[in-house]
Structure 1
């Protein structure tokens, strides 16, 4: 918690700093990348920098953390912090890089707020930053230790052993260790990062869920090619993987991370997904089927059309192998070709939700907001709803 001398200062200045945090992050990133261009080239997602979502996520996380320190000093936004820590670990972020962020973030704060940043204000917000940074550094150190790697040393070479087109825009890749060793164990629902060296020499990194359960001799990821409103390829890494990677090629891949993982126990589950968000749910279902689970499982998936639904046959098969599971599908178009599918978008009210349900959600942010809100209306406890969002988390602290 904040020190006695910093707490009233942060409380008094939170409206000002919070109101300016968007402009501060706008200044922060150009300053940092000018001093350290390798960070934009080889670590940060250039697409999220270009569209502004990474800046929004950083601003939201700082504002949320500071608000907790002032309004709920005995608590921390643990779900938010865990998602950030897992993402950082999957990128190989090190404790030294927090010093770089601190230097340029506080220079941006002074640049935006000017004389309002007195020594007292600077010291108080410095404390906020390092409380958050040190909590993340500690969490990431624990993740590195659990993975059996040194800080930041998460990368290994993997050979692409197979490639399969799941839909016109989704391809699955199976991966084996280049050194011939066994693939590491992971928890159903976790993801890995994949490095791609693009034509301009930049090394860009993206995360992909492991879409099969632990226990298989190889890992599998499923990559959806992102497209813009004009239907042209938009994601530079997903497009590069689609166009260039074939069996026999080598990819640099991280150890598995991610906190949206299948819980132990026999309680009822809801696995709800949209689009490529089905991939972590596939790993969970695969694990449940492999272990002979009889727990009640509602599987709900939404997609644009059946043809766009990656791994649809596999999702159907795995659900049918579980005696306590039921599958519920929604398609915006052409749903009549799939028996039992509904038209439109996921309707939680159409599901018979058992008491004691734990819900796991994965998909685009509007989908997460809609389904979570509907679950709350149906009486599901907020603490029982967990989610994973691909890309910058613009919904920080809402758990």
Structure 2
């Protein structure tokens, strides 16, 4: 029963609907009620595997392969979550169990375990405590810890009351003034087509969709490779518009590449942000450097958590960073004015990964009361 419930909690909580995120907060209750370490491990694996169920299909799409590589990576990714919760499980109720769950929460929120710390129940804090900021995060943490104790019924009752209250007064995350996010449906051609016509069409689309916006956000990888030719082309194309475009590009050198956001206008073009945590395995491949090989995206751990554009403080999140805790929490320490969340999700066709990214980023926006602008690239067939 506990294993079945953990699978249901992972599936419903991480369905891609922001309002179902609080269901994930029942996980520590199921973990605490496990009668043995083996059951606790299986409950943890069931929750994580169901929450990340889109990964096998996504990996198959990305590599144009069958499901087996994705299934293997899916199981491997679950090991850190499962092992942490299995090792820290205890049948001893009270303070010992509470402290151990706090340790598990912290370990899965921060590197190295937090590198694959998807489906963290604390993400639901923004739904239950909108606008509470760090106090809301602490309150959600306390609620999760109480779930592991003898008074878990109180925690469940409080969770249900808070959910009913937040659902009644729920409002969509705010969009910043004079900002506009532009979603695209170019599939895997996004950023890979370096032709003049591709960039001219994209510039025309930006100018058409900008309206009264002064800042237009494009998805991850939208401009392809950051070269002097691309810079000149975009600066010439934006002349007379007064628009600043924030978009994703790749900056390549002999050792590998950086996945970045740039800001480009008629007068200025600069690298704005270097991704702190690229997607492990498919992008971030640290073993290449250990083996003396080049290639792969660099991870700029804890670098540039806040960047500035026109005097506004921006918390940037590229794709994978929206699924884990430490990048957004590090950015929130700097009191940003805006969250800018981008992604290139052509490979997520047939999954809810983009919806989960949206839900997660929007929940953090609600928790800290910070406006958010998003831009994603989708598969044109969806």
With the length of structure 2 as denominator, give the TM-score of the two structures: 0.28
Name the structure where helix makes up a greater proportion of residues.
2
- Larger relative contact order (Cα-Cα within 8 Å, sequence gap ≥ 6): 2
- The TM-score with structure 1 as length reference comes to 0.27
